[in-house]
Structure 1
Amino acid sequence: MTDGPVAAIDCGTNSIRLLVCETPAEPLVREMRVVRLGEGIDATGRMSEAALERTFAALDDYAALIREHGATRVRLCATSATRDATNAEVFTAGVRERIGVDPDVVTGAEEAALSFAGAARGLREQPEWPVLVVDLGGGSTELVLGGPDGVTAGHSMDVGSVRLHERHLHSDPPTAAEVEACLRDVDAHLAACPVDPADAATVVGVAGTITTVAAAALDLTAYDAGSIDQQVLPVAEVHATIDRLVAMTVAERRALPYMHPGRADVIGAGALILRRVLERAGVDRLVVSESDILDGIAWSLLD
């Protein structure tokens, strides 16, 4: 184990998150900001100046928290948005200036392994193996299959809540034709995916889209990570919740007490990805975990 706290940062397409801890089970700081770094990147191939400004402002705050808690090692993992961007050097320079390390732009396979490590080590009850971890982000979705000894297969699909919302769901609420186009896109990626959800005995869902769908299924009066973590939800109930969220307007979603305002527009597309994965898996329950790639990044510094 490393002496003193470590700082893990997960910089995704929609959000940037910080975990400062000596062990992920007992966080000193766990923060999330929706910065939409991947805004427009599917169309332009570049991170916009506005998106970079939002991200750097969050990193300034995170740097202060890292100093305050005396974290001895820092790792920032950048995922889908920065993998795809042609102006990644601007992002790299901004990260280095603020937190003193270069971003670790992980591959899809590395992202999958970190997600599995975080989710599997966070499970409080022994699952039925093999476990499929579904890490549903803004720009990509990782499907990672593994057992008690670790990952056996993993793949990162270029479908996520921001990417598919921008590509397909242009109406508010989306039309039936737009929803069908989104589902066809997901189906095409799943058909080409080397990880078959049907091989899983247990499905564990992580990241903000899935935890927010869980909050909706539980009808929470506020977003409460403690109430969501390790919940086991009937898949039929998850599907009904997805139908309800997709049919809402953005304003109706934003009014939900558990909905982060930065997620309200894109969660419909993300929920449709979850629907198709669960349909292919054929399981009757979904385990929802607050432990995810952020915890995996922290473990990579602690082990």
Structure 2
Amino acid sequence: MMPVQAPAELDAAASCPEARGDQARRVFGPAFAALDLGTNNCRMLVGTPSGEGFRVLDSFSRIVRLGEGLHSTGMLNEAAMDRAIGALQACAARLARRPVRGVRAIATEACRRASNGPAFLCRVKQETGFDFGIISSREEAELALESCTPLLPCDGRRALLFDIGGGSTELAWVRLTNGRPELIGYDSLPVGVVTLAERWGDAGFNPDGFEAMVTDVADRLRSFEKVHCIAREIRDGGVRLLGTSGTVTTLAGVALNLERYRRLAVDGVELCSQEAADALSHLRALGREGLMLHPCVGPERVEFVLPGCAVFAAITRVWPAPHVIVADRGLREGVLLRLMRADRLRQGRRRDGCR
């Protein structure tokens, strides 16, 4: 198990005591906020520029299961929409206490797929003030790459990034050139922890059901493999595998034997394939009750852990890299980095115009 140096832009709130109002502006400068409404979670991150990255001022995450039942109905249901709006109202209340220079709110697979997704986001704007935009699968891959780039080594040729979400799994095939990663291929598979949990139910907790989930996902990965020949590149060396999702961070927490989940211990750690496989086997052996009691899982996530592990197992079966880099970062961080970069460009143009 190898630690990877975590960069300054994701300095956690735990190491950066939260400052409020005028004090925050004096100490940290302008603040920016990113909101990510996914199939399973509603997340918000507030940060202020620090060097080439940012310092975290506030963070929020709540399981809302927005995509509940979407696989069978094609629509967001009322209870799920109410849960999401409740979480977003909590985000709005937090932002009301902290002036921000810029906000971007993005919605992903659930709103992309649901026939009533756009109508729901209109309701969100009316009830919370947040103007959400539904992003494409490509932008989702680009944002994940933006946030994870500092974890990628400079000595590799290629990297495969994967993000196991609630309603989809995003893949990004990346060329590494002089520390400047270039996205050369991406795909969005319509399988995630929520969709698999709803499709397989309790069957996912038994060996045959779990293997069926793995086989199903692996079959879906093969078209991406056929185009990019990633397995051959892995055999030749120089490919790094990087995962960003609750599944991957949970596996890392188990591998590290953490008594409670700690982001600073997990983000950037590199697991060898055997460590990851052992952690996955341990989670499977716990069963439903054991997962509920595990400090890195808990009752809210118990239904989704093994479906996520099945996706991870499929990815490492099709692309058996010797190590996987674990990232506790994703879309919110990518959005913040882009907001801050755009603001720096605007401020620079204003200064140039005043000369």
Fold in common (TM above 0.5): yes
Tell me, yes or no, if the aligned pair for 2:197 and 2:307 is still in contact at 8 Å: yes
SS at match of 1:249: helix
Contact 2:40 2:166 in 1 (8 A): yes
Structure 2 match to 1:298:
336
| Cα distance change, pair 166–17 in 1 and its aligned pair in 2 (3 A) | same
**One of 262, 265, 283 as aligned partner of 1:245:** 283
Letter in 2 for 1:187: A
Change over 3 Å in CA distance of 1:74–1:127 after alignment to 2: farther
Shift of 1:84: 1.0
Larger Rg: 2
Q: Counterpart of 1:28? A: 57
Q: Quick one: which of 218, 222, 241 aligns to 1:191?
A: 222
Distance 1:256 1:197 in 2: 35
Query: How far apart are the structure 2 equivalents of 1:260 and 1:197?
Result: 35
Cα drift, residue 197 of structure 1 = 4.5
Q: In structure 2, what is the Cα distance between the partners aligned to 1:78 and 1:275?
A: 27
Normalised to the residue count of structure 1, the TM-score between the two structures is 0.92
1:152 pairs with 2:181: no
Unaligned 5+ residue runs, structure 2?
Answer: 1-28, 342-355
Deviation at 1:256, TM superposition (A): 0.4
Name which of structure 1's ranges 247-256 and 26-35 shifts more when overlaid on structure 2. Answer: 247-256
Describe the shift of the 1:180–1:149 C-alpha distance in structure 2 as closer, same or farther (beyond 3 A). closer
Partner of 2:212: 181
Which stretches of structure 1, 4 residues or more, deviate above 3 A after TM superposition?
A: 124-127, 194-197
Alpha-carbon contact 1:250-1:264 (below 8 Å) kept: yes
- For each residue in 1:44-70, what CA deviation from the matched residue of structure 2 results, as whole angstroms up to 9, or x when unmatched? 111111111111111011111222221
Paired position in structure 1 for 2:313: 275
- Give the length in aligned residue pairs: 299
What is the alpha-carbon distance in structure 1 between the residues aligned to residue 332 and residue 135 of structure 2? Answer: 13
| Correspondence for 1:70 | 99
Distance in 2 separating the partners of 1:225 and 1:192: 34
- The 1:288/1:224 distance shift into structure 2, 3 A limit, reads same
Distance in 1 (alpha carbons) for counterparts of 2:58 and 2:230? 34
For structure 1, the residue ranges without an aligned partner over 5 or more in a row are none
Of residues 51, 56, 70, the one that matches 2:80 is: 51
How far residue 196 of structure 1 moved from its aligned partner, in angstroms, is: 5.2
Shift of 1:144: 0.6
Report the TM-score when normalising by structure 2: 0.79
The answer on whether the counterparts of 1:9 and 1:75 sit within 8 Å (CA) in structure 2 is: yes
Say which SS state the counterpart of residue 248 (structure 1) adopts. helix
What is the percent sequence identity of the aligned residues?
29
2:198 maps to 166
- Give the superposition deviation at 1:260: 4.2
Deviations 1:82-136 (A, max 9, x none): 1111211342123212443421111111111111111114x28546231211111
Residues in 1 aligned to 2:126 and 2:153: alpha-carbon distance in whole angstroms: 42
CA distance in 1, matches of 2:90, 2:155: 37
Task: Give the corresponding residue for 1:85.
Answer: 114
2:232 equivalent to 1:232:
no
Deviations for 1:214-260, whole angstroms, at most 9, x for unmatched residues? 11111110010011011111111111211222343222101001224
Q: What residue is the counterpart of 1:263 in the other structure? A: 301
Relative to its length, the structure with more helix (as a share) is 2
